[in-house]
Structure 1
Amino acid sequence: MSPSIQQSPMDMMRIFRHLMTGQSTVKQTFPPATLTVIEQAIAQSETTHAGEIVFAVEASLDLSRLIKNQSVRDRAIDVFSLLRVWDTEYNNGMLIYVLLADHNIEIVADRGIHTKVDPATWEAICHTMKNAFSHKQFEQGVLAGIEQLTQILQEHFPAVADKKENTLPDKPVVL
């Protein structure tokens, strides 16, 4: 007989929150018009630098990930890999990952840009976005994050004349 897994009350609250947060939450928070605006902002941004930005939003984690107590950061890294954000010419792909059930945002930067920027910078961008989200300004929060990433990518990876086609899709990913 295997020992039972004991969950702390906080873990049980997280599980409950995830079970109660469905795809309808994504549609309310990021309706199609907002996703289109985000897509256009990413496309515009990528004309000004040699980087790639991907925006992904997920309503909640499935039960197996919750039982394993997967962190938002670990899930963001999984999504970074799943979406092949690392597959860019200059290793400068950027993922903005939003997990609605945990009210959390993570930025995952590929090694080409990660080594050039202090981790506190990513945290500050996430803080800016979270602040907007706390005021129900989801579109504005994402656009502010994209703008800040754009400035960083322009500094470290300015636009190049021979940039290949858009490596990663600009369209937001709803998981």
Structure 2
Amino acid sequence: MNFKRTIKHLFYPGWWLRRDFPPSEMARIEGAIKQSESKHSGEIRFAIESSLPFKALWHDESMNERAIEVFSLLRVWDTEDNNGVLIYLLLADHKVEITADRNINKVVGEQEWQRICGLMQTEFRAGNFGNGVVLGIDEIGALLEKHFPISAADTNELSNKPVVL
């Protein structure tokens, strides 16, 4: 267990999440996901967590491990074309992680996900949290549109609503 990280997470004010992501921003993010998904057959989820639960801290869970856990918890993997993408934001660590299902990972490399995370983090550092998330959704949507175009039979398989953990 990393003592410094544990203290930071245990005392991270939960109200900062509500300050940086008020209901209007959450609605804007939901709308951006809906608009993006109208152009491709992929599914995008956004999950935000102010700090890790104690169990995750005790086991020194990495950002990537937590993102994979949330990916599974939200069933982002459970899409017909295996092309779901999770944007996971952990406020206490000031980090964002993109986790994608196997079919999108066959055509999009890790460098591309890191590039998008970098664009988002630039916005976050400027205090533009909603803009950063919408930028990430737009960038991911462009990749999904290129590799998984919309079909007439496409349905919305996962909720577009942002998830607060």
For the criterion TM > 0.5, the same-fold answer is: yes
Quote the Cα distance in structure 1 between the aligned partners of 2:8 and 2:19: 17
Q: How does 1:1-175 map to 2 (within 5 A)?
A: 11-163=2-154, 165-175=155-165
TM-score (norm 2): 0.97
Quote the Cα distance in structure 2 between the aligned partners of 1:63 and 1:174: 17
Q: What amino acid is aligned across from residue 84 of structure 1 in structure 2?
A: R
Secondary structure of 2:122 counterpart:
helix
Q: What amino acid is aligned across from residue 109 of structure 1 in structure 2?
A: A
Map of 1:3 onto structure 2:
none
**Post-superposition offset of 1:17:** 1.0
Alignment RMSD (CA, Å): 0.9
Quote the Cα distance in structure 2 between the aligned partners of 1:62 and 1:94: 23
**Aligned length, in residue pairs:** 165
Q: What amino acid is aligned across from residue 161 of structure 2 in structure 1?
A: K
Alpha-carbon deviations, 1:57-88, whole Å to 9, x = none? 00111122111100011000000000000011
Unaligned runs of 5+ in 2: none
Quote the Cα distance in structure 2 between the aligned partners of 1:20 and 1:100: 12
**Post-superposition offset of 1:49:** 0.3
Q: What amino acid is aligned across from residue 71 of structure 2 in structure 1?
A: F
Secondary structure of 2:153 counterpart:
coil
TM-score (norm 1): 0.92
**Post-superposition offset of 1:43:** 0.3
- Kindly report structure 1 stretches of 4+ aligned residues shifted beyond 2 Å: none
Unaligned runs of 5+ in 1: 1-6
Secondary structure of 1:50 counterpart:
coil
Secondary structure of 2:135 counterpart:
helix
Query: Larger Rg: 1 or 2?
Result: 1
Q: What amino acid is aligned across from residue 116 of structure 1 in structure 2?
A: V
Secondary structure of 1:33 counterpart:
helix
Secondary structure of 1:136 counterpart:
coil
**Post-superposition offset of 1:110:** 0.2
**Post-superposition offset of 1:23:** 2.6
